[in-house]
Structure 1
């Protein structure tokens, strides 16, 4: 999901209502897996507000851009339908892969870095190191383990198993930040976790993929590390450098970055899907039009094929991330807002990175399908969970636990 929101100060509440004092945000634009808001830009949020306010200071044209950027699930859905009906629509992009994929992800990560101030990031890390470290450990333990278990339980083919494990070993996606905001969770914690897991992906994603997926196919951890460094860390650091060195220029470019990054992410996911749609359609059509089969049997046959296996495996993986992440945070003694942030952060992955690494380092095109399918499924699941939590007050006494 790619929502573009701006946080504004809320009406003051009586002193009996506890508020979290958070750093001030200058231009908090969120988009999946697109960019993080500048860490100094978060203003004081109340857990008891009735709706998410949007700053009235923004020009109308910028509001239009933000609205268009928030339609990421729609773009991916329309693109997926187009890929099914006319796969050749994305052939110009697919034929230039994996270079075109890497350039797209690099642009997305550059947009993320444009709003990242490492000084503020370090300050926030020093304020609550335990919760951040806990969340990062949960990210790189729950999701990779869940991916391995799901692939074994469902008996996935080697290519799909590797793709699912690679997805599980990816860092958190930045859509988690806006979902955490909607869910009334700890937004600064979500932001810093995303940055930490993204930077840690250079070592942890290749290493975990090699350990867990090495039994299926050979995995070159060194090449994966180099690719992750090139398409993730370098653009983020470059964006942060440009933000601090050329603030005036970045201020002009920033309003357009979310929409462009959303379109790049949508194109990336839909292109990978279109590259495999012929194979998937053949299995679906064969199952659907088999003679003497009831409707239920036809649906069962479709779901038992490759397409059904991909959808089910991705659903189970992200469900495990949301659920186990929340339970782990509860056992760790965190308060409700932090539990929600950790749950959402663990459950939502940078699926674009998974697509790029899969297409660049694995011969089977099926490896990229779980990350590509995740771009749609994950955002629907995350946004739905966020809106459910939106109407459950995290300050309710029964949710309050002493924070470590």
Structure 2
């Protein structure tokens, strides 16, 4: 009884590297617009003063940058080896780990009663750095992976091409949003309340349509990535929390650091999967499931922190 199930699972694991998830050209264009809108929404809520704030807290920002762009990809690489996942799943996990944070991290930090100013500053800095560091990280760690490098060789990934794509998707919307926020702050404030939520609804719709159009593939192979995404997401959140505690950040800053490191813009990862990896099954499944589970896990952590803050003494709340 058990042997056939194990055999079936082995077949699925082997097949996931060769599965291609169909994504129409129109849907890919829509996804690019949605991701650009998400980054535009982040920028509308960002002020140049946020970068000035980051310069006044260089140590804390540096901790976040090291955790996001050095430690998380490295630990993710180790996790893929520990779990012994297939090449496409490993590349999906590495790609997500290299993605920048999104403004979901700001929302969760606010809900957890954390340091929102720090969260916004780290999001702004992280997205700017990701333009340059993300393609380098993906190419570096992917090329080192024993099974992932074979997939990369077949795809012939160009870090320069990815840099250009990320620059277009992140850089242009981000620069435009910051310019509008600087020149017309009242308009940016009103627009920011609409653009962000609408863009995330659009991303959800694109994912739902993509899953519906590839339902049989999703059902057959989702079990291969569920455990990996659960472990990976927990690792990212624990890394943010652990490095904040190790460097003795205040409680409110610890909450911000947890979400800035733990929450990744998986939508951007999904876009890159379909742009450069031809909808490779394991990568697409990891990015899609991460985008769903990451928010669920983040909300659970934020709600727990919020509940705890209600029972804290006034002195403890002041420290937070």
Fold similarity call, TM over 0.5: yes
Is the Cα–Cα contact under 8 Å of residues 323 and 343 in structure 1 kept in the other structure? yes
- Structure 1 or 2: larger helix share? 2
Tell me what 2:9 maps to. Answer: none
Summarize the alignment of residues 165-184 of structure 1 with structure 2, pairs less than 5 Å apart.
165-184=94-113
After superposing on structure 2, the runs of 4+ consecutive aligned residues of structure 1 that deviate more than 6 Å are 394-400
Is residue 115 of structure 1 aligned with residue 31 of structure 2?
Answer: no
Select 1:262's aligned residue among 166, 190, 200.
Answer: 200
Select 2:72's aligned residue among 143, 168, 186.
Answer: 143
Is residue 240 of structure 1 aligned with residue 170 of structure 2?
Answer: no
Shift in Å, 1:378? 0.4
Question: Measured at CA, do residues 396 and 322 of structure 1 come closer, stay the same or move farther in structure 2, by a change above 3 Å?
Answer: farther
Shift in Å, 1:195? 0.9
The structure number with the bigger radius of gyration is 1
Compare 178-187 and 391-400 and name the one that shifted more.
Answer: 391-400
Question: Measured at CA, do residues 142 and 273 of structure 1 come closer, stay the same or move farther in structure 2, by a change above 3 Å?
Answer: farther
Structure 2 CA distance, aligned partners of 1:249 and 1:335?
34
Question: Measured at CA, do residues 334 and 399 of structure 1 come closer, stay the same or move farther in structure 2, by a change above 3 Å?
Answer: farther
Tell me what 1:334 maps to. Answer: 249
Shift in Å, 1:252? 5.3
Structure 2 CA distance, aligned partners of 1:228 and 1:179?
25
Summarize the alignment of residues 3-22 of structure 1 with structure 2, pairs less than 5 Å apart.
none
Question: Measured at CA, do residues 348 and 253 of structure 1 come closer, stay the same or move farther in structure 2, by a change above 3 Å?
Answer: closer
Select 1:98's aligned residue among 5, 23, 28.
Answer: 28
Aligned pair count reads 287
Is residue 278 of structure 1 aligned with residue 278 of structure 2?
Answer: no
Shift in Å, 1:395? 7.2
Shift in Å, 1:236? 0.8
TM-score, normalization by structure 1: 0.65
Shift in Å, 1:181? 1.5
Q: Greater relative contact order: 1 or 2 (C-alpha under 8 angstroms, separation 6 or more)?
A: 2
Select 1:185's aligned residue among 114, 121, 126.
Answer: 114
SS at 2:101 equivalent: coil
Shift in Å, 1:178? 1.5
Select 1:221's aligned residue among 154, 159, 164.
Answer: 159
Compare 188-197 and 212-221 and name the one that shifted more.
Answer: 212-221
What are the superposed Cα offsets for residues 99-128 of structure 1, whole Å, 9 maximum, x if unpaired?
A: 22212211221222223222x122211221
Shift in Å, 1:95? 4.1
Structure 2 CA distance, aligned partners of 1:395 and 1:331?
22
Summarize the alignment of residues 236-385 of structure 1 with structure 2, pairs less than 5 Å apart.
236-247=174-185, 249-250=187-188, 253-281=191-219, 283=220, 306-366=221-281, 367-385=283-301
Shift in Å, 1:225? 0.8
What are the superposed Cα offsets for residues 323-342 of structure 1, whole Å, 9 maximum, x if unpaired?
A: 12211111112122212211
Structure 1 CA distance, aligned partners of 2:314 and 2:241?
18
Unaligned runs of 5+ in 2: 1-21
Summarize the alignment of residues 53-132 of structure 1 with structure 2, pairs less than 5 Å apart.
94-118=24-48, 120-132=49-61
RMSD between superposed Cα atoms in Å: 2.6
Unaligned runs of 5+ in 1: 1-90, 284-305
